[in-house]
Amino acid sequence: MDNGSSSYDRYLAGDDAALGEIIHEYRDGLIAFLNGYTKDIFEAEELVVETFFRLAYKKPEFSGKCSFRTWIYQIARNLAIDEYRKRKNVRFVSTDDCWDISDGVDIEVDYLKEERKKVIHKLIRKLKEEYRQVIWLIYIEGFSNTETALIMHKNSRQITNLLYQAKKALKKELEKEGITNVGL
């Protein structure tokens, strides 16, 4: 059992502090992930609150067929899709504001790295929705192809193909901006 599922089991058994552990562990990653759907950091935060509300009050059953982390991301993704279907009018807010510039020793190098990140994130936003999702889940969140397949409701082969196409599309966008040697 991973930490999230053991904490959730403790919460279901009556240990309210265990829910706090789950929130602390997954909150920031979920916000960043959902911001990719909503393009609005505040809406993403609301969806994360709703995700934890579901855990706290509806207490869905965790079957253990995937990792707890994958399961909670599935819940959050499904909430985002439901919300999108309700609203159909999504506001856009730049995710570039979410990245802090480092106080590293070499300010110029750090600045250039951050600028490159901003350009890459901007270019990722130009990709098709599925391409953005697969790149985000695998490269930013660190999910495996199998976990990503579960979150996106696809099979592993589809994820492999989707990731290949997404990297190809991103590389094309990067080349348009004159960026090479990214390691795709």
Indicate the DSSP class of residue 58. I
What pLDDT is attached to residue 28?
Answer: 92
Checking if the pLDDT of 104 tops 70, the result is no
Average pLDDT of the chain, as a whole number:
82
Look at residues 132, 162, 159 and name the one whose alpha carbon lies nearest to residue 148: 159
Tell me, which fold does domain 3-87 have in CATH?
Answer: Rna Polymerase Sigma Factor; Chain: A (1.10.1740)
- Would the CATH topology of 3-87 be identical to that of 98-176? no
Confidence of residue 81 (pLDDT cuts 50, 70, 90): confident
Residues 124 and 139 sit within 8 Å (Cβ to Cβ):
no
Name the token pair of 115.
Answer: 């600028």
Taking the C-alpha atoms of residue 139 and residue 22, their distance in angstroms, rounded to an integer, is: 22
Confidence of residue 14 (pLDDT cuts 50, 70, 90): confident
- pTM: predicted TM-score of the whole model, two decimal places: 0.59
What pLDDT is attached to residue 102?
Answer: 47
Indicate the DSSP class of residue 179. -
Q: What percent of the chain has pLDDT over 70?
A: 82
What pLDDT is attached to residue 2?
Answer: 56
Task: Please name the amino acid found at residue 19.
Answer: L
Three-state secondary structure of 80-146? HHHHHHHHCCCCCCCHHHHCCCCCCCCHHHHHHHHHHHHHHHHHHHHCCHHHHHHHHHHHHCCCCHH
Residue extents of the structural domains in the chain: 3-87, 98-176
What pLDDT is attached to residue 183?
Answer: 60
Averaged pLDDT for residues 44-72: 90
**Alpha-carbon distances of 116 from 52, 64, 121, rounded to whole Å:** 34, 39, 9
CATH number of the domain located at residue range(s) 98-176 in this protein: 1.10.10.10
Query: How many degrees, rounded to 5, is the angle at CA 90 between CA 140 and CA 170?
Result: 35
Q: Residue 99 CB: number of other CB atoms within 10 A?
A: 11
pLDDT digits (tens, 9 = 90+) for 127-156: 888 888 898 888 888 899 999 999 999 998
Question: Which of 75-89, 94-108, 114-128, 143-157 is least confident?
Answer: 94-108
Checking if the pLDDT of 5 tops 80, the result is yes
**Alpha-carbon distances of 123 from 77, 82, 117, 175, 180, rounded to whole Å:** 22, 26, 10, 11, 13
Averaged pLDDT for residues 25-42: 88
Name the token pair of 75.
Answer: 């819940």
Taking the C-alpha atoms of residue 127 and residue 183, their distance in angstroms, rounded to an integer, is: 18
